[in-house]
Amino acid sequence: MSPESRRERVQRVLLRIVAGILFTGLPGALLPGVAFQKLSWLVGHRQYPLTPLVIYVSGNAGYAYTVLGVWVWMVSRDVKQHRGLVRALGWMLVLGGPGYWSIDMQSGLPLWWVCIDSLGCLGIGAGLLLASRRETGSV
C-alpha cells in the first residue's frame, strides 16, 4: 500500500469519527427538550427549565451538528478530491481545541468533558493535517 493511500485511509477514518460525533446531535434536533435535560444530567448539572429559547437553541444546535455530520461523511468518501476541505477542517478543529477548552471551562463542565471535548478536537484536527501533508524529498 502506498504512503498516499495510507494517508487517505487515515483521513477517511478520522473524518468518519468526526461525522459520528456530529451525528450525536440528531436527538437534539428531533427532541430538543429531552436531549437538553439528558445532557444536563450527563455532565452533572441540575435540570434547567425548558424555556422556548432553550428548546430552540438545543434543536438548532442538534440540527446543525447533524447537517455537518452528513457533510463530513460525504467529504470522507473522496478525501483526494476534497483535499482542500479536509485541510480546512483540520485547521478549524486545531483552532477549535483551545476554543472548546475556553467555552467548556466557562460553562462549568466537568474536567473529563473539557478534556475529551477540547483535546479530542485538537487531536483529530492535528491528525487530519498530518495525514494531509505532502511528502517532500521522498524517492
- How does residue 136 score in pLDDT terms, banded at 50, 70 and 90? very low
- pLDDT at residue 138 in the model: 42
Query: Who wins on pLDDT, 83 or 3?
Result: 83
Q: How confident is the model at residue 139 (pLDDT cuts 50, 70, 90)?
A: very low
Task: Supply the pLDDT for residue 117.
Answer: 94
The identity of residue 106, as a single letter, is Q
Cβ neighbours of residue 109 under 8 Å, at least 6 residues apart? 43, 117
The string of pLDDT tens digits covering residues 48-80 is: 888 899 899 999 999 999 999 999 999 999 999
Tell me the range of 13-22, 39-48, 54-63 where mean pLDDT is highest: 13-22
**Per-residue pLDDT, 137:** 42
Which amino acid, one-letter code, is at 11? Q
134 secondary structure, DSSP code: P
C-alpha cell at 103: 467555552
